[in-house]
Every structure is written in C-alpha cells, then in structure tokens.
C-alpha cells in the first residue's frame, strides 16, 4: 500500500479554504493508499495534520509536532491554494527531494499564478485575450484603458483583491487595494455581457482529458466570500434541461479544445480548472487555477468521473513523471577537473 501525503494550508490569503480542500479530499482517497495529513501553518511550518476541523478553528492544529517523514511518502497531493502551493515554490522544494507532487512544476506554477505572465503567454500563443496594462505603485496615474476596467493584483487567487472600477474614485481605491497585496497590478478591459464558463482538465493514462462544463453566475465577478460561503450551490444536482444546456452545447467543443491547448502550452500537471469568459461568439480564456478548490470535483462528477478516480489519476501521473525524471542524464564525465586543477590548488 502506497503512503501518500495530503498537504494543505500555508502562508496564503486562501489558507482556510485550502484546509477544507485537503480534509475533504482525504475523505475520498481510495483504500489503495495510506493517507498522511500534512498541515502548513500560517508561517509555512509543516506539522502533522488533524482530521478535526475544530482544531484549525481554535488554532490547536498549528501546535502539532513537526512533520519529518517526507522520504517515506510515495507522493504528495498538493491542496495548498495560493502562496507557495500555487506559485511553484512547494513543487520546487519537493522536486529537490525527489518526491512526486500532483500539481504543476515550479515554472508552470509561477507563470500561471502570475496574472501578468498568463496574459502575455496566452496573447503570444494566439488566444483571444482582453486588452490589459501592467502598473506598479509609481504608475497608478497612467491607466490608459477606458472605464470600466478590472483591477487585479498580480499573484493572488480566488478573486482576492480583484475589483471592477466604474469611475476614477473606484479606480484609485481599486489600485490602492491591489497594491497592498502585490508590487504589480494588471488593469484589464471590462468584458460586458459575458458569461463565465469553467472546465477542469487533468491527465489520465497519459491523455489530457476534460470534465463537464459549468456556467458560473452570469457576468458578475464573484468575491472570495461569494464563492465559498455558498459552496453547495455548485454541487446541486439538476433535474431535466436548463436554459444553460443549449448555450453550453454550442461552445463545448471550443472551450474544451482551448483548455487542453492551454494545459499543454503551460506544461501543466495534476488537475487544473480553466475559467473562460464568453461574449457572443468570442471565447476568452480568463485564467488557469492550478490548485482549484476541492480539485473541481463537482465538475468531474458531472462527467461521471468519481472523485476517487480523479485522485488516483493525479497520484499515478505524478509518480510516473518522477520516474521519468530519474531516467534523464544528469552526469557528464569529463577531464575538466583534472586539467584545470591548477585554478584552485594553492600555490
């Protein structure tokens, strides 16, 4: 039986929702694995995780003993939203220790956590993108896009710090808020009359596969609280057809194709959720969430893929990737040390 770690929490504005993702996922791991909980505290200390939610509410969980058994793990499932979990740092640390991790690698994680890098790469690759502008604290008076605009801190997720500004006062406040979270912000064209559509992507036996599609909340930008304080709304089973069904059937092929292309473009791993904005016949890839809340499990369930299968796909793919890395040539025998020993030998 393979021993796998489920890691969650961390120094991030999304710390609490990460705890829920980790504990919820651990409940759905199949009997093929032995689960070890690893909790990253608010200052990124790795401690032995508790299965009791009250321990996190009271702070007791952060006082647990340090987790040290990394080398005994066959794989680590990354449930850390934001921070080091999504910006590539955690992947880099575990890669250094040759421990398989289910999420994107260090480079892919950073590029997709950066809203600026994501926009630039997608634009260069020919994806339809909104107009955007990059600003620092010294350039807040240089917004050139017409109002309304969307203001986003560069490296935050889950709508944290994102504001729609309709006038100059709102723009000033939005920039001020975003710059308390990051050194750079991105100001984007506001896409009116759009509908948000999400789809999840992962690798299964080497193939890139997609989940069912989901329409999210019309043209409204949801805050962090609106996303997570009414979480059951996304998981309610629908009976019969809905007005969204015809809309989704019309764009399904295009959305899934774009999502798979983006997964390949960024060299993604594990489960990601790709969020689109659809305006008329224009399909805009908005962002890629490399550690989505609850691993977007409700989208897989809509596609009749059990959560346990999703978890198994992530683990097996991570282990396979790590095994392939071990086969790469990392040593080159040469005479360079012997022939250049005089450069470092004391005279």
Q: pLDDT tens digit string along 187-241? A: 999 999 999 999 999 999 999 999 999 998 754 555 555 555 554 444 444 445 6
Confidence check: pLDDT of 144 > 60: yes
pLDDT recorded at residue 240: 52
Q: Cα 190 vs. chain centroid, distance in angstroms?
A: 23
What residue spans define the domains of the chain? 2-101, 131-189, 195-319
pLDDT at 72: 97
pLDDT at 218: 52
> How confident is the prediction for the chain on average, in pLDDT?
92
Q: Which two tokens stand for residue 71?
A: 């080398």
pLDDT score of 223? 53
Percent of the chain with pLDDT over 70: 92
Residue 173 has pLDDT above 50, yes or no: yes
Exposure b/e, 220-233, CB count within 10 A at least 16 = b: eeeebeebbeeeee
The answer to which of 58-62, 63-67, 224-228, 276-280 has the lowest mean pLDDT is 224-228
Tell me the C-alpha distance between 111 and 157, whole Å: 13
Q: How confident is the model at residue 106 (pLDDT cuts 50, 70, 90)?
A: very high
CA 68 to chain centre: 26
Query: What is the per-residue pLDDT for 245?
Result: 86
- Strand pairing partners for 66? 47
Strand pairing of 272-279 and 195-204? antiparallel
Section 136-160 average pLDDT: 90
More confident residue, 155 or 165: 165
Q: Residue 303 corresponds to which tokens in the numbers above?
A: 């596609």
Tell me if residue 198 falls in helix, strand or coil.
Answer: strand
CATH topology identical between 131-189 and 195-319 = no
Q: What is the pLDDT of residue 161?
A: 87
197 beta partners: 215, 276
DSSP state letters, 104-161 = --HHHHHHHH-HHHHHHHHHHTT-----EEEEEGGGTT---SPSSEEEEETT--TTTT
Q: Are 130 and 291 in contact (CB under 8 A)?
A: no
| pLDDT of res. 156 | 78
Q: Which two tokens stand for residue 337?
A: 């040390």
The answer for residues whose C-beta is within 8 angstroms of residue 197's C-beta and 6 or more apart is 213, 214, 215, 216, 248, 251, 255, 275, 276, 277, 278
Contact 123, 131 (CB under 8 A): no
Pairing of strands 75-78, 2-9: parallel
Q: pLDDT of 307-331, one tens digit each?
A: 999 999 999 999 999 999 989 998 8
Class level of CATH domain 195-319? alpha beta
CA nearest to 280, candidates 222, 219, 199: 219
How far is Cα 315 from Cα 337, in angstroms, rounded to an integer?
41
What is the reported pTM? Answer: 0.90
Rounded CA-CA distance 179/184 in Å is 7
pLDDT band at 61 (very low <50, low <70, confident <90, very high): very high
Q: How much is the pLDDT for 238? A: 43
Q: What is the DSSP letter of 65?
A: P
Domain 2-101: CATH architecture, name and number where available: 3-Layer(aba) Sandwich (3.40)
Nearest to 183 by CA among 116, 130, 132, 120: 116
pLDDT tens per residue, range 7-45 = 999 999 899 999 999 999 999 999 999 999 999 999 999
CATH number belonging to domain 131-189:
3.30.1490.20
pLDDT confidence band for 150 (50 / 70 / 90): very high
In angstroms, the Cα distances linking 305 to 221, 278, 279, 327 are 29, 26, 29, 32
How far is the CA of 254 from the CAs of 149, 177, 280, 309, in angstroms?
Answer: 26, 35, 13, 26
What distance, in Å, lies between the first and last C-alpha atoms of the chain? Answer: 58
Q: How many CB atoms lie within 10 A of CB 321?
A: 16
**Strands 207-216 and 149-153, bridge-based pairing:** unpaired
Write the DSSP symbol of residue 26. H
């Amino acid at each position: 039986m393979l021993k796998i770690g489920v890691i969650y929490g961390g120094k991030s504005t999304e710390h609490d929702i990460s705890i829920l993702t980790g504990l919820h996922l651990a409940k759905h791991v199949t009997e093929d694995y032995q689960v070890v909980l690893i909790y990253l505290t608010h200052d990124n200390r790795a401690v032995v995780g508790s299965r009791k939610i009250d321990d996190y509410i009271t702070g007791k969980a952060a006082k647990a003993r340090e987790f040290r058994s990394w080398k005994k793990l066959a794989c680590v499932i990354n449930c850390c939203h934001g921070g080091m979990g999504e910006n590539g740092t955690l992947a880099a640390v575990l890669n250094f220790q040759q421990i398989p991790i289910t999420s994107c690698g260090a480079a892919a994680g950073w590029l997709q956590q950066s809203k600026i890098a994501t926009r630039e790469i997608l634009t260069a690759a020919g994806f339809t993108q909104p107009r955007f502008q990059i600003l620092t604290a010294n350039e807040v008076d240089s917004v050139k896009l017409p109002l309304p605009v969307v203001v986003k801190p560069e490296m935050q997720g889950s709508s944290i710090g994102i504001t729609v500004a309709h006038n100059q006062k709102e723009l000033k406040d939005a920039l001020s808020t975003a710059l308390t979270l990051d050194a750079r912000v991105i100001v984007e064209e506001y896409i009116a009359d759009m509908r948000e559509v999400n789809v999840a992507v992962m690798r299964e036996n080497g193939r890139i596969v997609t989940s069912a599609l989901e329409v999210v909340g019309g043209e409204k930008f949801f805050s962090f609280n609106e996303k997570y304080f009414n979480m059951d709304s996304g998981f309610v089973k629908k009976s019969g057809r809905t007005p969204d069904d015809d809309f989704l059937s019309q764009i399904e092929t295009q959305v899934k194709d774009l999502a798979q292309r983006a997964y390949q473009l960024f060299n993604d791993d594990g489960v990601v959720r790709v969020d689109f904005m659809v305006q008329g016949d224009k399909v805009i890839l908005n962002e890629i969430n490399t550690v989505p809340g609850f691993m977007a499990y409700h989208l897989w369930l809509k596609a009749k893929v059990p959560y346990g299968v999703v978890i198994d796909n992530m683990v097996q793919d991570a282990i396979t990737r790590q095994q392939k890395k071990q086969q790469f040539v990392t040593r080159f025998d040469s005479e360079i040390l012997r022939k250049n020993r005089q450069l470092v030998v004391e005279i």
